[in-house]
Each structure stands twice: as C-alpha cells, then as structure tokens.
Structure 1
C-alpha cells in the first residue's frame, strides 16, 4: 500500500493542480445505479477541464433503473471535493477517482441519480437547520473465491490470531481506506467464521454514502490481491450470522447535537424520541430499501443477532433501534442505532429513507412507545403482542408490498427511483420464487 496522500480539493482548479503535481494518468468517474452498483468510466487529464465545465455524456439506457432508450442521454459532472487517489493502484502510474452528479442534457439534476436523492433530503433537513451524520458498521466475509462460500478461518467475535487468519488483510484494507482520507475507528473479527467488521468514524451523510461505496471497492480489491474474495452478501452461510450494517445516526444544529438534552433523565431530547418513533412507525416501509435483496431476508430471522422485531431500547441488542450507552451523558456521543440494514444496500437511498422517516416523526411529533429492555428473541408471540411489538417483513415480497404503500418513501426517493426500484425488486422476487432449490430436491424428491 502507498503512503497516504489525502487531498482536500474544493474546486476544479485544485483538482487540475493535483493531477499535474502527481502526474496522474487517469481519473475514474464514479456513480451508482438504482441498486447501488458502482459504475465507472475513465478520462484522461486532458479531458478534465471540459468535464468540469460541460460534463461527460453517456448512455443512461444501459444503466439499471436509469433512463428509457428514448431519453437515454445523461451527463456526468464530477464533484471535485471527492477527488482522491485510488489506493489499490501503484503510485508509479497513479489513478484518481471522483464521484459524479448525474444531470439531464439541459443541466437539471437527473431524478434517477441516487446521490441527488440523498442531496435533496439533506437539503430539506438543512432548511430547518439540521445536519445529518451517520456512522455505519459494515460487516463482510472473506472467502477463498467468489464461486463458493469457503471460509478462511473458524474464528469468532473479537478472536485474535491464530483463530483470526485475516488480520493482515483487514490491516491492508484499513491502510487503503486511510490512503483515501477515510478515518477508521477500529476493526475486528466478527461472530461468524471468516466474518469481519471495520467501523468508520461518523461523518455527514453524503460523504459517508460515498465512503461506503469506496469501502466496498477497497475491501474487494485488497482481498483480491491476497488471493481471496470479499463478500457483502447479507447471508452467505447457512446456520451462521449474516452481515449487517448497523447505522448510527444523529442530527446537529448550529454545532449542537439535537438528540441530546442534559435536563432529561436519559439525556435524550424530545426531538430524538420523535425521530426514533418515526423510524419505528415507518420501519416496514423502508425495509425493502435497507434490505434490498432476496438473500437479505435469510439474515432477518430470529436467532442470529439480526433485529426482526420493531421496538427500541437503550441497551437491548435484540431491538430494531438501540440507543448506545458507551458514554452516557456525553453530548457528542448521543446517537441512535438502526440495526436492520445490511451492507449490500444502496447507501444513498438507505440513508435518505432513514432520514425521511425520522424527520417525519419529528414533524408529526410521533409518540415513542416504551422501551423494551427484555430479550425479545426469548418472548413468544403472545408476549410480543402484549408489548405491541410487530415484526419486520419476512421476505422481499412482503417488504415491497409495504414499500408500495409508503408516501414517506415515495416522497424521499422521488417518483422515478420509487417506480424503478419496485419494478426491479418484483422481477427479482419472481425470478427467485420460480427456482427449484437443492433443499427442495433433497427433502421432497425422495418422498413425493
């Protein structure tokens, strides 16, 4: 890994200067499709000036969830503040990247651009003086290859070498993240064999969405260099915990944490409680976006530490929303944690939906139900009913049904992405439910 060279470019001139100074050979332009899959094309330094002024045109009809064939012309405008050298390329011929904002040929924002969706809801929050900060915990697996989920070790939670055989790989991933200006708080082996977590320092939501996309790329590139494969698939191993993306979140106004109230017994402000109530009330509606794959619902089952039940607590890790108590009474540490999302989601859309649900709770002053500190996994159905604890959708089909009825999510995503996302997920569900699995063959063929 190269020594860290972190840029803080503010405009096109800063980028042009950096490209010349470091003799950068290519600049990758990054953006994601509606599902969060990274798309990229490269430009030479000689094209940068025109790209900043006029953008770079491309065919949007070939991008999932973008334009139809008769309205396919799209223009990518690079964001100079996202300029960094890619850490997995040799410094002898350095390559940089910038995230792009996608626009129509007339210069208006393209409503199918996930980054624009998040920007729009952040701007709405900013009108009321709020800044939205998030700190996701992305878990992933390391396998021998992408062909089958063959683990590299049998380590468990916080295990050290020799049980943890990927310490060097995690360290190289962290070096790669640091080289691109991404601050890592800590890393460790997770509960399942060959499962890992690298926690990122919280930051403003748009920058964090860019960071989450970058994190996934770096993890895969570093793993490839080590001869293995990094997977963010939510549930690749039967009988083991899946990979989640717990999202810590808070709102700030004028440099003060809106979720903190020193006079409250639990230090949680009324705004914070309304925000949590918004996440709970709209939890089923945002699930399809935060858990967007058929496989996501193999993780969201009781017994594997993934939250299934819609409740909140201060310490209870079986609840959907948790208020971490690592540093009670400290303003900057006051935050809430949504535990249902997984790391294979589109982070721009997921963060947008979380914020939209929370803001709705604040706007409408939703009443927060009582915290549930008992182990919800140990409750039977009748006990959960008495506590008023509903369940998250049990399948992608159920989640899409809830999404279709959501005015909150439709407003957050905009009509274009809302329609295209639902259409894509319905196709995925139909493709999945027509499959005949190995489980069915083994169980039913001998007896039916």
Structure 2
C-alpha cells in the first residue's frame, strides 16, 4: 500500500503532525474490561499506521485471543487525532489516535474489540432510522499520594457539594483538567465539587454515542495524568471510602431521526416523552438487571449500589425524584428531551455499557413494550410491602447475581456478541470467586477476638 491509499482525513492528520511537531503517536484501544491500552510509535510511522496498520500481540490483551491466533492489527481512526495536553519529556510532544482492532487471519474487524461491539449497536440503531446521542456525568475522587508516589485514600480537600474555596482545594486541579480536555477537543459544560470529600464531577457536552464512548476513555486518562502532575491520585473506583457517597456515571440517552428530529420528544405528552421514548425506556427497565453486570462491572460497584447513598437500586422511572433508576430530566427545548440512566459507574467499559443500553432500548421499541407509570414518591422510604405493591424490583445486589442476570438475557448477550459475552462472563465469574474467598479487615475486626 502507498500514500495514494490515504484518505483525506488521514492526510489532514499527517499535515497536523508535521505542523505541531509531534514526536510520538499513542495508538489507543481498550480491552474488554475497559482498560485503555496503547502502542507508542514515532511520528514518522504515522503514514504506515494509516495505510498498513500497526501489528501487535492480541494474546497479551485481556479477553482478546489465544496464543496461537495472536497477531492483530490496529487501524487508527483519523477523526480521533488529538495532541496530548502534557509532554512525555521536556521536549517531547505526543498525540493520540483511537484505533479499531482487526483480525489478521480474516482481515475483518475483530468482534472482540469493544469499540466494534458499540459500532455494531450503532449500526442496528441506524438500520431502524435512529442516531443515538448520549451525555455521561463521570464522577471521581482525588486522593493524596504518599511520599513514594503511591495512591492512598487520604482526602485532598474537605469540600462538599458545589463548595468553593477554601474548602474546595482542588479547584486549580479541576481547572487544569478542564483546560487539558478542551485542548483535546472536549466541550466542557460544567464542573463542580461533589457530595463527598475529595469527590468531583466534570460534565462534557453530549455527542453521538461512539464519540462519547471515545471521550469517556480519553477523559479517564486525562484526569489521571493531570492529577498526577499535582501529586494526586485520581480514581474512578465506584466506592473507595465506606459509608459515604460513591462515584457514578449517570448517562443521558436520546434518539434522533434521520431528519434531525428528537424521536424522544412529544409536545402533547404530560412528560414530553414520545411513544418511542417510552418504549425505549421500558426496554432499559426490562433489561436493567443484565445491563448492571456491564455498567457496574466490579465487586466494588455493589458497595455503591445500596439504598441511602443516592445511588439508584430500584427498577422504576420518575420525572421528579432521583430515587428511581431512570429519570426524565427537565428539558427547555425539544432537542433536549432525554432519559437519564443513573446506575452506571465510571469503572465500566463505556463501549460495552453503551452497547448494552442501545440494544435494551431498541428491544423495547421493537417489541412495543408498555412503559410503567412513573413513581413520584421517594422509593428510598418505601418498605418491602409497598415496593411489591408498586411492582418495583431491585438491581442485583452483587456481581455474581448480575452475571447470572447477564447469562439469562439473550438481548444483552447479543449486544456484546458471542466472543465478548463469553470472555466477559468468564472474567467476572473469576473476579467474584476471588472476592468470596478473601477475608476482609472488617471480618477480622468483628470476629477474630469474639469467637
């Protein structure tokens, strides 16, 4: 292959690499658990990356392939090119390109690539005449590092929800993170201190769901890198501190038609939700237990999903309170009509979680599911009898139960595809079993001297 095979977008990237004096390219992708991986190549290999791809050992990546079928190829997406807002050395400028993974044995997109899983879901929506937009709200903690640079759980500030300095000592860090994100093309809409000490949220503008998944992966990398420059450790662990609020990633979803109209909006409806929106919402509720395995994929995720700490566990929807799993936020314009799924947390693989949401919602549309009535009371205050009266079920209480739900839900398994579904379940079963055989400090403190 020669430079004649370059697309116009790729040529634009090559020009920018030269103009900006980029020294290295980080070719980025994710494994099935959502960990960002990258291969760094000198910038003079950029043309080769676009025309031939960059080969790597897929057997070394969690959930990819076996040792006897290890050769895989990265194909960079030129639309994802961005200069990294920090230097890898005093005079070293690096840039990032997100890649699609290809199977060299078939020369086809690798179905175990989480980005391919989401693209398949997007294709399904497109075939039904929809574009999916989403806007996530990822939360995170900023903790102190010890003298050796290791992570601790020592608070870096004493602020609370929407606090200002002097309590919110991390304003400068958040400012640097925002500048870095904007340098990489993010449209940051808001940032603030969250409820817990040292907890923060930075919201960026909604976009098509593939771009948003790319942005979530980038967001986590940028937050960690810039926090480290301030000698702080940023963590997206859902519940790093017991008995305080955990970190979520509330996710706003909407469908747009081919003519650019919001398919979720209806002026004549009490909640300004169309029948399509209600069917989509019903699909999300119907598949919520299985979605939980993907959107809340760690043992620790279920330390957040308990009543009393503002995390939703009840499978219901509402337009006025945040105790339900799905909320219909207020919208000033028809284009802003959307639903908000409040259970996901920022430890999830965004590509897989978003794919599960798409398939669940589209299944609701295809089956014409009836949407239940909204619950306008505080479900946290309901006793079990009242929840049964309202027909409100709960999300799985631990990772093992969530994986059981995933294995029993063909729609969400189809969303992931056979390869990812098998590897994901295998990894999560192992994680849960490892957790079950461990003995915690809480158990030692409670039982060691008592019995």
Question: TM-score scaled by structure 2?
Answer: 0.96
Residue 183 of structure 2: aligned partner:
179
Determine the C-alpha separation between the residues in 2 that align with 1:53 and 1:10: 12
Alignment equivalent of 1:81, drawn from 79, 82, 90:
79
Alignment partner of 1:167 is 2:168? no
Alignment partner of 1:428 is 2:431? yes
| Deviation of 1:326 (Å) | 4.8
Residue 4 of structure 1: aligned partner:
none
Determine the C-alpha separation between the residues in 2 that align with 1:295 and 1:161: 31
**Does structure 1 retain, via aligned residues, the 8 Å contact 2:29–2:38?**
yes
SS in 2 for 1:155: coil
Determine the C-alpha separation between the residues in 1 that align with 2:348 and 2:8: 29
Residue 50 of structure 1: aligned partner:
48
Consecutive unaligned residues in structure 1, runs of 5 or more = 1-8
Residue 382 of structure 2: aligned partner:
379
| Deviation of 1:265 (Å) | 2.7
Residue 133 of structure 2: aligned partner:
133
Residue 99 of structure 1: aligned partner:
98
Alignment equivalent of 2:262, drawn from 257, 261, 264:
257
Alignment equivalent of 2:402, drawn from 386, 389, 399:
399
Alignment partner of 1:157 is 2:156? no
Residue 116 of structure 2: aligned partner:
116
Residue 360 of structure 1: aligned partner:
363
**Does structure 2 retain, via aligned residues, the 8 Å contact 1:88–1:218?**
no
Q: How many residues of Structure 1 are paired with residues of Structure 2 in the alignment?
A: 438
Determine the C-alpha separation between the residues in 2 that align with 1:45 and 1:244: 37
SS in 2 for 1:275: helix
Residue 300 of structure 1: aligned partner:
305
Counterpart mapping for 1:239-254 below 5 A:
239-253=243-257, 254=259
| Deviation of 1:88 (Å) | 1.8
Alignment partner of 1:342 is 2:340? no
Determine the C-alpha separation between the residues in 1 that align with 2:19 and 2:91: 13
**Does structure 1 retain, via aligned residues, the 8 Å contact 2:254–2:264?**
yes
SS in 1 for 2:394: coil
Q: 1:428 to 1:10 in 2, by over 3 A?
A: farther
**Does structure 1 retain, via aligned residues, the 8 Å contact 2:143–2:151?**
no
Alignment equivalent of 1:331, drawn from 306, 330, 334:
334
Residue 445 of structure 1: aligned partner:
448
Cα offsets for 1:181-232 (capped at 9, x unmatched): 0111000000000100001100001111110011101111111000111010
> What RMSD, in angstroms, separates the aligned Cα atoms of the two structures?
1.2
**Does structure 2 retain, via aligned residues, the 8 Å contact 1:10–1:81?**
no
Alignment partner of 1:390 is 2:393? yes
Alignment equivalent of 1:269, drawn from 262, 267, 274:
274
Counterpart mapping for 1:34-49 below 5 A:
34-49=32-47
Residue 219 of structure 2: aligned partner:
215
SS in 1 for 2:449: coil
Determine the C-alpha separation between the residues in 2 that align with 1:75 and 1:153: 44
Residue 3 of structure 2: aligned partner:
none
SS in 2 for 1:256: coil
